[in-house]
Structure 1
Amino acid sequence: MIPDSIIQYLQRHQIPFERRPHLRAITAQALAATLHVSGFQVAKTVILHAQDRLWLCVTSAPDTLDLGRVSEMLGVRRLRLAEESEFAELFPECEVGAEPPFGQLYGLPVLVDEHLRQAERLWFRAGSHAEAIELAFEDFIALEEPLLGHIVRDRPGERAHAPMEMHG
């Protein structure tokens, strides 16, 4: 079940969204299969430790973060996946592994992969492995005002992308 704090956050900012209960799905790709949508419509949140700060990085389910690109974009030399012990208490009402991409709600900066623009609507985990939330990509960008750039490994047949941009 999606925590009330997330629902209230979206309502307070007048972001239209839909909730969808589903079979328990741990991975983002399993979530896509359960929802019967493309993995490119499911956004996953990866939490990184960049020097002395945590970041929420949002990519599509099948994509893999390119830590070199993220490091360059953030202008940091030290970057790694965050340990569960470093962030679990920041999301007390959420199931571990189902952290939502709502950095404004949790006091964390957000970095979004530009490929997500290709999906008009996205499915997100919102604190639960048994219920997802759908909202428009543009509403998510307006709500979070994230950094936006090419932060994943190139997909087969894809050429390297231009540098990132700031949004907001």
Structure 2
Amino acid sequence: MSIANTVYDYLAKQAIPYQTIRHQPSKSSVQSAIAARIPLHQLAKAVVLKDSLDHYLMAILPAANRVNIRQVSQITNSKLQFAKEHELNSRFKDCEPGAIPPFGEPYNMEVLWDKRLCQSPDVFLEAGDHETLICLLQESFQQISNDQPHDDLCSAPPGNH
């Protein structure tokens, strides 16, 4: 499959330079990072949340971390829960199930991204299938995420409370 058409068109329209990296099929962002031999903190994953009125929010964070849903709820001043798989499949029709690219704007979704993603020279993102990653230079990542709010969205790693 490669890059989802929606993401491909978005990157082209924004004139964002990128590279693609193919890897062995994976079932999670952690497996994708391992298969592509990239550090977990450099792979951005999308976690889709929703409120009681079915307003969706894409939280983008490093693959090594877990979203702190209470923290994100406080930041957004709304009670959030995880979106269900069937809801995601209907919103991300050009993506394989479970392979949501961390690009909210082209899918008409609000975005909140974790500030940890600003700390690496390159950021890798799921492309919409289970075998392709998109690599952006930090400068290009900033170009697509600068207008979107960012904060600390992650739970502390075990043992660091």
TM-score, length-scaled by structure 1: 0.87
Percent of pairs with identical residues? 27
Pairs aligned (count):
158
State the secondary structure of the residue aligned to 1:89. helix
> Which residue number in structure 1 is paired with residue 23 of structure 2?
22
Q: Deviations over 1:53-82 (max 9, x none)?
A: 111111111101111110110011x21111
Q: C-alpha root-mean-square deviation of aligned residues, in Å?
A: 1.6
State the secondary structure of the residue aligned to 1:57. strand
> Which residue number in structure 2 is paired with residue 153 of structure 1?
155
> Which residue number in structure 2 is paired with residue 103 of structure 1?
104
> Which residue number in structure 1 is paired with residue 45 of structure 2?
44
Q: Distance in 2 between matches of 1:116 and 1:130?
A: 22
> Which residue number in structure 1 is paired with residue 70 of structure 2?
68
Structure 1 residues 16 and 157, CA, compared in 2 at 3 Å: closer, same or farther? farther
Question: Displacement of 1:110 after TM fit?
Answer: 0.7
Query: Does the 8 A contact of 2:21 with 2:133 survive in 1?
Result: yes
Structure 1 residues 89 and 117, CA, compared in 2 at 3 Å: closer, same or farther? same
State the secondary structure of the residue aligned to 2:155. coil
> Which residue number in structure 1 is paired with residue 85 of structure 2?
84
Question: Displacement of 1:156 after TM fit?
Answer: 5.8
Q: Distance in 1 between matches of 2:52 and 2:111?
A: 15
> Which residue number in structure 1 is paired with residue 136 of structure 2?
135
Long gaps (5+) in structure 1: 160-168
Report the residue type matching 1:117 in the other structure. Answer: C
Long gaps (5+) in structure 2: none
Q: Which has the higher relative contact order, 1 or 2, with Cα contacts under 8 A spaced 6 or more apart?
A: 2
Q: Distance in 2 between matches of 1:68 and 1:136?
A: 31
State the secondary structure of the residue aligned to 1:111. strand
Question: Displacement of 1:157 after TM fit?
Answer: 7.4
Question: Displacement of 1:158 after TM fit?
Answer: 5.9
Report the residue type matching 2:23 in the other structure. Answer: H
